[in-house]
Amino acid sequence: QKEVEQNSGPLSVPEGAIASLNCTYSDRGSQSFFWYRQYSGKSPELIMSIYSNGDKEDGRFTAQLNKASQYVSLLIRDSQPSDSATYLCAVGHDMRFGAGTRLTVKP
C-alpha cells in the first residue's frame, strides 16, 4: 500500500462545476496535510494546509480532513479553465506526496 494515494485521473469537469479531489494516507499519526497545484513544467504551489478534522475554506477552495478515515479531500467550486493542473496531496512533516490528480476544466 502506498503511503499517500490519489486517483491519477484525468478528471474532467465543465467550467463552473465543482471539482472533487480525494486523497487517502496510511500513517495514522500524520498531523499535517497539504494540497498543492502544479502546472506543467512548474514547481508545486501551495493551495491549502489543514491540520484539524473538518472543513477549511479559502475562496473557491475547501479542504476536508477526516483523520479517523485517513482521508483528505479538496473541493474546487466554480471551476475555471485556469484551474487545469495536477493537484498533489502531501501528508506529514516530511510531506509524503501522492502521485497527483490531473484536472482539466473545459470551457
Where does this chain bind another protein (CB under 8 A)? 4, 6, 31-32, 34, 36, 42-46, 49, 88, 93-100
CB nearer another protein, residue 32 or residue 66: 32
Q: Minimum distance between the CB of residue 34 and another protein, rounded to whole angstroms?
A: 7
SS3 at position 82: helix
Which segments of 6-107 does DSSP mark as H helices, in order?
none
- 95 exposure class (CB count in 10 Å sphere: 0-12, 13-18, 19+): middle
CB nearer another protein, residue 49 or residue 64: 49
Q: Minimum distance between the CB of residue 99 and another protein, rounded to whole angstroms?
A: 5
SS3 at position 63: strand
CB nearer another protein, residue 15 or residue 39: 39
Tally of helices (H runs) and strands (E runs) in the chain: 0, 11
Angle at 18 between CA 43 and CA 15, to 5 degrees: 80
CB nearer another protein, residue 18 or residue 46: 46
Q: Minimum distance between the CB of residue 89 and another protein, rounded to whole angstroms?
A: 8
Q: Minimum distance between the CB of residue 15 and another protein, rounded to whole angstroms?
A: 25
